[in-house]
């Protein structure tokens, strides 16, 4: 079955960087686009970024595109999110999510979610 295991979260000071990872198994990783979605404590869901199946196309939430970078390593079945210049408002649980297709455009529902990794930005 599909497994998505996020890691890399923790407590970080404002202005610092963090890299999240998502180790995937149970499906053909290199055929699927992947997303990051975040959820601030007690709040709703907010889409962060997407990467196409081969890593050539990426899209970001407008407010994050200058600070966050999504990438993937299909040889390691791993998705990444590099987060720079972190702010208090980036505090959230970050989910790795799969979709049934390979494009970085919307067009697919989010069919599998990891358990998330918590990022806390605080001094």
Partner 1 sequence: DIVMTQSPDSLAVSLGERATINCNSRQSVLYSVNNKNYLAWYQQKPGQSPKLLIYWASRRESGVPDRFSGSGTGTDFTLTISSLQAEDVAVYYCQQYYSTPPTFGGGTKVEIK
DSSP of 62-81: GGGTTTEEEEEETTTTEEEE
Q: Is 93 exposed, middle or buried (0-12, 13-18, 19+ CB in 10 A)?
A: buried
Specify whether the CB–CB gap between 58 and 104 falls below 8 A.
Answer: yes
- The reply on whether position 94 binds partner 1 by CB under 8 A is no
- The reply on whether position 110 binds partner 1 by CB under 8 A is yes
Identify residues 58-87 at the interface with partner 1 (CB under 8 A): 59, 61-62
- The reply on whether position 105 binds partner 1 by CB under 8 A is yes
Residue 10 to residues 51, 55, 120: CA-CA distances in angstroms? Answer: 24, 26, 6
Query: Which one of the spans 9-17, 19-27, 46-54, 69-77 is the region binding partner 1 (CB under 8 A)?
Result: 46-54
Q: Mask: binding to partner 1, 19-38, rule CB under 8 A, as x and -?
A: ----------------x---
Q: Minimum CB separation from partner 1 for residue 33, in Å?
A: 11
């Amino acid at each position: 079955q599909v497994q998505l295991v996020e890691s890399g979260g923790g407590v970080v000071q404002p202005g610092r960087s963090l890299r999240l990872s998502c180790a995937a198994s149970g499906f053909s990783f290199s055929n699927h686009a992947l997303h990051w979605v975040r959820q601030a404590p007690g709040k709703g869901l907010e889409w962060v970024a997407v990467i196409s199946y081969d890593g050539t196309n990426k899209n970001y939430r407008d407010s994050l595109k200058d600070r966050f970078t999504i990438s993937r390593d299909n040889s390691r079945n791993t998705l990444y999110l590099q987060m720079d210049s972190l702010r208090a408002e980036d505090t959230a649980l970050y989910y790795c999510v799969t979709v049934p297709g390979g494009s970085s455009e919307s067009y697919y529902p989010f069919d599998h979610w990891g358990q998330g990794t918590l990022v806390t930005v605080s001094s």
